Amino acid sequence: MVTLKGNHIYLRALEQNDLDFLFELENDTDVWELSGTITPYSKNVLQLYLDNAHRDLFDVKQLRLVICDLNEKAVGLIDVFDFEPNHKRAGIGIIILDKEQRNKGFGGEAVSILCNYLFNILGLRQIYANILEENVASLHLFKKLGFVEIGIKKDWIRDKNTFKNEILLQKINR
In this predicted model, what pLDDT tens digit does every residue of 39-89 receive, in sequence order? 888 989 898 888 888 888 888 899 999 999 999 999 999 999 999 999 999
Model pTM score: 0.91
Residue 168 lies in a domain: no
Average pLDDT, the chain: 91
Residue 140 lies in a domain: no
Structural domain that includes position 98:
9-125
Please report, for the domain that includes residue 67, its CATH number: 3.40.630.30
When divided into structural domains, the chain yields a total of 1
DSSP output for the chain: ---SB-SSEEEEE--GGGHHHHHHHHT-GGGHHHHT--S---HHHHHHHHHTTTS-HHHHS-EEEEEEETTS-EEEEEEEEEEETTTTEEEEEEEESSGGGTTSSHHHHHHHHHHHHHHHTS--SEEEEEEETT-HHHHHHHHHTT-EEEEEEEEEEEETTEEEEEEEEEEE--
